Amino acid sequence: MHLLKLRFGAWQFAPAVWPTLATLFFFVLTMWLGNWQSGRAETKRALQARYDLATREAPIHVGSTLLDRESVLYRKLEVRGVFDDARTILLDNRVHEGVAGYHVLTPLDIGGGQLAILVNRGWMPAGRSRDQVSLPPIPRGEVKLEGMAVDPHSRYFELAQTPPQGRVWQNLDFERYAASYGRTLQPVLLMQTSQAGDGLLRSWPRPDTGVSMHVSYAFQWYSLATTLAVLWLVLNLERHQGDGE
């Protein structure tokens, strides 16, 4: 059964019902996926633009109130508090210029209250042995820090769910860490930019929010939709064989 029959000189266009419906379904699906990826790319572009703007703005002061994560993401923050060195953890397999090492994360108790913020203080090399890790020196007493607020839920690839081994964690499980901590943690991770004389490296790269990846995926979905439409047209176009069915 055909939806229609159109003749163009020696050619006839006669698409069948079920192949046409199947093609229409997958065409709409691939176009929707392409639009979704395009929308994600636009969202990520906005985040990168906000990050670039934030590098030129004055920092937001972090006080005794809980931050709204979405409004401060990729913004500069300033905070005063005391480091809780007993709760320092190390994120393993962080590579800097080809050298394996750790990111050093320590909570900062804000103003002696019930709020704290987890601070990524910087990178240090792993050293010769991973059995005994020497922690870098930590400032004593109240300190003033500046840094960039980032999403604490970003994860690195791992082959298996590796449980934390003492201070060394494969990835930051923020909920698990926050649940075990005695104070309420701010909903962002502070990437410290201010210097502290502790030997840690803080040359943070501009965050890659994945714009190019989403653009690439969108192009693939739109290409697939175009291919489906072209195939549907070509496969339903044939030379007219006469007036018979």
Q: What is the pTM of this model?
A: 0.69
Q: pLDDT at residue 239 above 90?
A: no
6-15, 26-35, 161-170, 227-236: the lowest-pLDDT one:
161-170
What lies within 8 Å, CB to CB, of 79 at 6+ separation is: 61, 62, 108, 110, 117, 144, 145, 190
Of 150, 152, 155, nearest to 170 (Cα)? 155
Q: Which of 31-35, 41-45, 126-130 has the lowest mean pLDDT?
A: 126-130
pLDDT recorded at residue 243: 52
Residue 245 is predicted with a pLDDT of: 45
Rg (CA), the chain: 28
The pLDDT assigned to 214 comes to: 92
Domain boundaries, the chain: 58-192
Band (127; pLDDT cuts 50, 70, 90): confident
Asked whether the predicted pLDDT for residue 98 surpasses 90, the reply is no
Residue 8 has pLDDT above 80, yes or no: no
pLDDT of residue 131: 64
What pLDDT is stored for residue 154 in this prediction?
62
Among 85-89, 163-167, 237-241, the range scoring the smallest mean pLDDT is 163-167
- The residue among 94 and 164 whose pLDDT is bigger is 94
Report d(CA 57, CA 100) in Å as an integer.
Answer: 33
CA trace torsion 13, 14, 18, 20 (10° rounding): 20
Is the distance from CB of 32 to CB of 225 less than 8 angstroms?
A: no
**In the predicted model, what is the mean pLDDT of the chain?**
84
